[in-house]
Chain A
Amino acid sequence: GQSLEQPSEVTAVEGAIVQINCTYQTSGFYGLSWYQQHDGGAPTFLSYNALDGLEETGRFSSFLSRSDSYGYLLLQELQMKDSASYFCAVRKGSARQLTFGSGTQLTVLP
């Protein structure tokens, strides 16, 4: 089976940097994705890592270590609008389905 672990809640202040960690257990690991979801809204793709290292997209970066089965999402220059749930998700092998973690609720305080 597959399992993903991420913190349930993180709180930070506007302008700060926050890191959301994700550890996973899966056979046939293919890649780690990150999605953002505002209350009642659609999950929105943020980032994807298939290889070890850091991927940067504007204020958001994502890191993967395949040997450690670990990744993180780094959010810089936090804004109030970044308050949302963040999910890591793994893709297994050639299958295209995603298995999501339980999500991390990020609260950005003024």
Chain B
Amino acid sequence: EPEVTQTPSHQVTQMGQEVILRCVPISNHLYFYWYRQILGQKVEFLVSFYNNEISEKSEIFDDQFSVERPDGSNFTLKIRSTKLEDSAMYFCASSDDSSSGNTIYFGEGSWLTVV
């Protein structure tokens, strides 16, 4: 079964450093997302990406964050100047372009710890 893959699974970084989280969405999907989940809390939407541009973003997704699709398979989330409160599990997800597109497939996540 096709799946969303993410790397790294865990990353520890020092406050103020830049982090890039990588994702390979399901190959025939056209919508890509980043969500995050702070330990013990709910999953929160960050950004969605379609047709090589951001289609939606939440208030969490400020200038510290950026996304990119550098090639035909990868989708990345860059976090500049990380803060302690950026520590969370970051999930990449994708969905197809059907009229419903209600099923969003999540990757296993990248656990980011900022120290």
Q: Which residues of A contact B (CB under 8 A)?
A: 31, 33, 35, 37, 40-45, 48, 50, 87, 89, 91, 95-103
Contact = CB atoms under 8 A, between A and B. Distances in A.
15 contacts: A31-B102, A33-B104, A37-B43, A41-B108, A42-B106, A42-B108, A42-B109, A43-B43, A95-B56, A96-B31, A96-B95, A98-B104, A100-B44, A102-B41, A103-B42
A55 B4 CA distance: 26
Nearest to B97: A96
A89 B37 CA distance: 14
A97 B100 contact: no
Contact of A102 (B33, B42, B103): B42
Interface residues of B, number: 26
B56 A45 contact: no
A102 B44 CA distance: 10
Nearest to A33: B102
A96 B48 contact: yes
A45 B42 contact: no
